[in-house]
Amino acid sequence: MENTTKIIFPYDQSLVKELPLIDKSNIEKILTTAQNLFNDQSSWIPAFRRIEILEKAAFIMNERSEELIHIAISEGGKPYKDSKAEILRAIKGVKLAAEHISQIKGEQIPMGLTEVSLNRIAFTSKEPIGVVVAVSAFNHPLNLAVHQIVTAVAAGCPVIFKPASSTPLSGLALADILNEAGLPEGWLQVVLCDNETAELLVTDARIHFFSFIGSAKVGWSLKSKLAPGTRAALEHGGAAPVIVESDADFSEMIPDLVKGGFYHAGQVCVSVQKIYVNQEICDRFIEEFSRATQKLIVGNPFDEKTDVGSLITPKEVNRVEEWVNEAIEEGAKLITGGKRISDTTFQPTVLFNPSEDSKVSTNEIFGPVVCIYPFTNREEAIKKANALEVHFQAAVFTKNLDVALDVTKKLNATAVMINDNTAFRVDWMPFGGRDASGLGMGGISYTINDMIREKLMVFKSKSL
């Protein structure tokens, strides 16, 4: 019997669609198709055509934005207003990729600087790295697909895309749109398969670049098995620490941090998770933060009033509930929330001063839970913020420039937001984790540059 994957609406667990999975016997054909396209340079898509394809794709996406929003909500459960923002970002991402194609260029390397380099002129040029395999995550099903597929198209690489098995519909919709926009057959192959088959694909010697968004455990494991020479970019999670000083502006900070903590029910790799607050303002912070949290509307993601939707599976609700109960048993004070609303939703939860050994302190929660820790010594707070293996984005709230610069320098993070939440991102900025949180930097232009490689040409002539 054919294996399938069931796409379930996370909020009420209703069946959206059932799709077939490929098995190992299909892998050879998929790889051969991609490799043949790359090896035949006469079939490469010229830059002007890549620009035309992506510009047309962005236009079609814009025309079908409501349909794409509906697809994203039905498979991922992210509330309407946030799914709408994701689709608009995805369209902008396609436009950014099209624009960046004109920036793919080499440079002249100076010669004649030594006697042996006389009578030469040298240039670098850029060419596609080769076959790209991209493995994606569930939490931003269209925007992540853009970051992994469209960047490969812009770089001129054949791409094999494996979406998360729970949220493949947005990636498939993007593939249809790219085909409609004129992407030649074979340049994008969307593969739905189990983990064992995916590993066979990823670790094949014909893969030149591996793009991964997902858990650190899976990402580092796959990287360790890559064929020699396969380049990789990995994006994992973080715990997004925030330092709040006593001079922070409450009117700006509270709504910002509440949004950063509970956006997509906390299922974001840079969600606000750990807030270290100066003891002088801690009582006021807890009061205002919890009051704003209690106003959040939890409900059906299709309802435009909903702020917080469902978690991706009931299993995740069980896990979040266990972690919160464990934290309370180990000394955390429950400020608000703390209970499941249904099999698929959990109350936005605020915990005060959980043990540094509790799971909510040591692991990425990936749920609607924010932990607040008081501090009297800022250096100690920074030390605790840096104590985990994961380091991605962080933030500091203060009106003191020296404090902001000092904290920014000392926090172990790839990006530090000053007076903004940790989840801020635009798609033209570098974005990624360091240490256990990832390898390389994402962002449309950064990923395109990862997917191209340099070639040096040196001309020798007596006429030079």
pLDDT single digits (tens) 4-48: 999 999 999 999 999 999 999 999 999 999 999 999 999 999 999
pLDDT in tens, 339-386: 999 999 999 999 999 999 999 999 999 999 999 999 999 999 999 999
pLDDT reported for residue 192: 97
Domains of the chain by start residue, with CATH: 4-236+437-459 (3.40.605.10), 241-418 (3.40.309.10)
Percent of the chain with pLDDT over 90: 98
pLDDT of 1 over the 50 cut: no
Copy the structure tokens of residue 31: 């790889």
Q: Tell me the mean pLDDT in the region 77-99.
A: 97
Catalytic residue among 75, 157, 193, 235: 235
In angstroms, rounded to a whole number, what is the distance separating the alpha carbons of residues 151 and 100?
Answer: 9
- pTM of this prediction? 0.95
Mean pLDDT of the chain, nearest integer: 96
Helices (H), 203-313: 216-224, 250-262, 282-294
Report the relative pairing of strands 209-213 and 231-235 from DSSP bridges. parallel
Q: Which of 261, 287, 293 is nearest to 274 (CA)?
A: 261
The single residue listed with the structure tokens 């399938």 is 4
Q: How many residues are there in the chain?
A: 464
Residue 276, H or E segment: strand 274-278
In angstroms, rounded to a whole number, what is the distance separating the alpha carbons of residues 185 and 198?
Answer: 22
User: 53, 45 in Cβ contact below 8 A?
Assistant: yes
In angstroms, rounded to a whole number, what is the distance separating the alpha carbons of residues 110 and 121?
Answer: 7
Q: Is 282 designated active site?
A: no
Q: Tell me the mean pLDDT in the region 155-165.
A: 97
pLDDT of 194 over the 80 cut: yes
Q: Tell me the mean pLDDT in the region 197-223.
A: 96
Catalytic residue among 157, 193, 269, 282: 269
pLDDT in tens, 109-149: 999 999 999 999 999 999 999 999 999 999 999 999 999 99
What are the two backbone dihedrals, phi and then psi, of residue 108, each rounded to the nearest 5 degrees? -85, 135
pLDDT of 419 over the 70 cut: yes
User: 353, 332 in Cβ contact below 8 A?
Assistant: yes
- C-alpha distances (whole Å) from 64 to each of 50, 95, 138, 412 are 21, 16, 21, 41
The residues pairing with 442 across neighbouring beta strands, listed in sequence order, are 431
Radius of gyration of the chain (CA): 24
Half-sphere exposure (Cβ direction) of 410: Cα atoms closer than 13 Å: 18
Helical packing angle, 80-100 and 47-63, nearest 10°? 160
The single residue listed with the structure tokens 């010229």 is 46
In angstroms, rounded to a whole number, what is the distance separating the alpha carbons of residues 210 and 135?
Answer: 8
pLDDT reported for residue 236: 93
pLDDT in tens, 250-293: 999 999 999 999 999 999 999 999 999 999 999 999 999 999 99
Q: Is 235 designated active site?
A: yes
Q: How far is CA 193 from the centre of its chain?
A: 21
Q: How confident is the model at residue 2 (pLDDT cuts 50, 70, 90)?
A: low
